[in-house]
């Protein structure tokens, strides 16, 4: 990549296409799962344009300033920094969320949770008041804010035990113009959530990685995203167990609890739900990779 700092020769200019090809190859060698996409996002960011615009600019030669910015991001990406932290945002459900090292980078799998919550709301017959939704462990606010966009007249409570994460979530809500529909609460699960008393939907993408799985995560996750957003004890179930215990008293009868899980703990989660007296109608929902990714269940009378 150091070649790009040299003056272009007539035969071999560093065009957009050539930069993308070189960088895709470089990221492939560095083990990236999405080398071409990473390259495009970084080059579009350096050129301050939409990614799609690169496709009509293949023959153009980026300015020296753009190439310097691109080269620095490519170097850091090569060392492991996530693309989202280099550009400062991540797209989730067609919204752009600011992220930094204080929050988990929203993952595409979590969009299934949003879809399930929206589907559940459609079946609810609440007409005399807003639908009440809690997002426990909101991180960047991706789930809460996306639900605020897609569910009209919802009253959303977004909770996190990390004040730095909540600050990012508040910034995202204000920037995307949904701050009015979301109440942000600094709390350990429901401990400091005083109102509303009950919710129609409680959703959560909690930490669910076990201590031993954490050691095997790629360095680009371990070294750049907050450990407390990922790890939940020896078996990854610490927070999920507490949610299954603490959420039902805060749910309306017929309300739904929706939790993202790891496929590794799906069977254990099913057993835990079966053993919880006031939860029933368990659905286990798979992601696009056919992995068991969500548990969704209803509050019943115990």
Q: Which residues are annotated as a binding site for S-adenosyl-L-methionine?
A: 137-141, 160, 205
In the complex, the smallest distance separating the C-beta of residue 119 from ligand SAM, rounded to whole angstroms, is 18
In the complex, the smallest distance separating the C-beta of residue 202 from ligand SAM, rounded to whole angstroms, is 12
* Alpha helix segments (H runs only) across the chain: 16-29, 35-47, 64-79, 83-87, 111-122, 142-150, 163-175, 211-216, 219-222, 238-246, 266-274
Q: Environment class of residue 130 by beta-carbon count within 10 Å: exposed (0-12), middle (13-18) or buried (19+)?
A: middle
The answer to whether 131 and 124 have CB atoms below 8 angstroms apart is: yes
Residue closer to ligand SAM by CB (options 138, 210) is 138
In the complex, the smallest distance separating the C-beta of residue 116 from ligand SAM, rounded to whole angstroms, is 13
Contacts to ligand SAM by CB under 6 A: 104, 106, 110, 136-140, 142-143, 159-162, 165, 188-189, 205-207, 228-229, 239
In the complex, the smallest distance separating the C-beta of residue 84 from ligand SAM, rounded to whole angstroms, is 11
Residue closer to ligand SAM by CB (options 293, 299) is 293
Residue closer to ligand SAM by CB (options 66, 262) is 262
Residue closer to ligand SAM by CB (options 38, 225) is 225
What phi-psi label fits residue 9: left (phi over 0), alpha (psi between -120 and 50 degrees) or beta?
beta
DSSP 231: B
């Amino acid at each position: 990549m150091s070649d790009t700092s040299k003056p272009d020769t007539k035969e071999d200019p560093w065009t957009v296409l050539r930069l993308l090809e070189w960088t895709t190859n470089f990221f492939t060698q560095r083990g990236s799962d999405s080398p071409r996409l990473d390259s495009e996002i970084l080059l579009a960011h350096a050129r301050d344009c939409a990614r799609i615009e690169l496709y009509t600019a293949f023959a153009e030669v980026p300015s020296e300033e753009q190439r310097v910015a691109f080269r620095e991001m490519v170097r850091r990406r090569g060392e492991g920094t996530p693309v989202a932290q280099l550009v400062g945002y991540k797209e989730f459900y067609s919204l752009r969320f600011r992220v930094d090292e204080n929050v988990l980078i929203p993952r595409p799998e979590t969009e299934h949770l949003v879809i399930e919550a929206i589907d559940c709301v459609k079946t609810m017959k609440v007409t005399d008041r807003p639908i009440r939704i809690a997002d426990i462990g909101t991180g960047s606010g991706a789930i809460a804010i996306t639900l605020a966009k897609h569910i009209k007249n919802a009253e959303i409570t977004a909770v996190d035990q990390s004040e730095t994460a909540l600050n990012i979530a508040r910034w995202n809500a204000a920037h995307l113009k949904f701050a009015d529909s979301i109440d942000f609460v600094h709390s350990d699960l429901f401990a400091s959530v005083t109102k509303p008393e009950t919710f129609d939907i409680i959703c959560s993408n909690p930490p669910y990685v076990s201590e031993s799985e954490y050691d095997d995560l790629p360095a680009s996750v371990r070294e750049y995203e907050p450990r407390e957003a990922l790890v939940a004890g020896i078996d990854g179930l610490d927070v999920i167990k507490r949610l299954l215990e603490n959420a039902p008293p805060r749910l309306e009868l017929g309300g739904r609890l929706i939790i993202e899980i790891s496929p590794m703990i799906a069977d254990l989660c099913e057993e835990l739900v079966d053993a919880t007296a006031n939860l029933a109608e368990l659905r286990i929902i798979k992601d696009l990779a056919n992995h068991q990714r969500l548990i969704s269940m209803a509050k019943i009378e115990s």
